[in-house]
Chains A and B, each alone.
Chain A
């Protein structure tokens, strides 16, 4: 069974630029999560989708971050414009449904200079 795929794996941008990350969850998984892991901290949930609907985006900085999962499969996370403090690893995870074990992708390491 293929795992959670993410791209790109690494990205370096300047502050005020835009960036987008892509995630392809495990086939058949209804729930998709985006986490932000800043160096020295644990992963923090940014947004959770159930199929193509948002379940929780309480910790998503909506003035600059957006995410979508239009067809209930792939998802993109966008930052516009990026700030220095957005430098982090962005992890995507999926689960069969809410409350089930989450499977993680390898993450995208973003550096904002």
Chain B
């Protein structure tokens, strides 16, 4: 059974704060690491698909890094806005298994 862990479980920040979350995953048999944003009552939305050790990806104020050797990925949000409030999920993909294993998510609330 693959273990994908995310921390913190939840986070409350003020508008304008920068924040980051961690996703830990098995370092063996790595194929890809996915990040999703899931707003309440909406569909989970793919943010990044990361495949190479040392990958850094950016989308607006959100960026992510990947370390496959030690089995972790960081997601950063710069200058948080209320619309960033959502649950952020990471999912580990093993090519051989053809299956996404999700972490429990980090629930972010950005307050005015």
**Which A residues have a C-beta under 8 Å from some C-beta of B?**
3-4, 9, 35, 40-45, 48, 55-56, 91, 98-99, 101-107
**Which B residues have a C-beta under 8 Å from some C-beta of A?**
4, 34, 36, 41-46, 49, 89, 91, 93, 95, 98-105
The residue in chain B whose Cβ has the minimal distance to the Cβ of A59 is: B99
Choice from A9, A45, A104 contacting B44 with Cβ under 8 Å: A104
Knowing A42-B89, A106-B41 are in contact, say whether A99-B100 is a contact too (CB < 8 A).
Answer: no
Asked if A106 and B42 sit within 8 Å, CB to CB, the answer is yes
Choice from A35, A42, A48, A107 contacting B105 with Cβ under 8 Å: A42
Compute how far the CA of A56 lies from the CA of B100 in the bound complex, rounded to whole angstroms: 12
Compute how far the CA of A74 lies from the CA of B4 in the bound complex, rounded to whole angstroms: 30
**In the complex, what residues of A have CB within 8 A of residue B105's CB?**
42
Compute how far the CA of A84 lies from the CA of B36 in the bound complex, rounded to whole angstroms: 28
Nearest Cβ distance between residue B47 and chain A, in whole angstroms? 11
**In the complex, what residues of B have CB within 8 A of residue A9's CB?**
41
Choice from A48, A99, A105, A106 contacting B95 with Cβ under 8 Å: A99
Asked if A55 and B102 sit within 8 Å, CB to CB, the answer is no
Selected A-B contacts with CB under 8 Å, 14 pairs? A4-B43, A41-B104, A42-B89, A42-B103, A42-B104, A42-B105, A44-B102, A91-B44, A98-B98, A101-B49, A102-B100, A104-B36, A105-B43, A107-B43
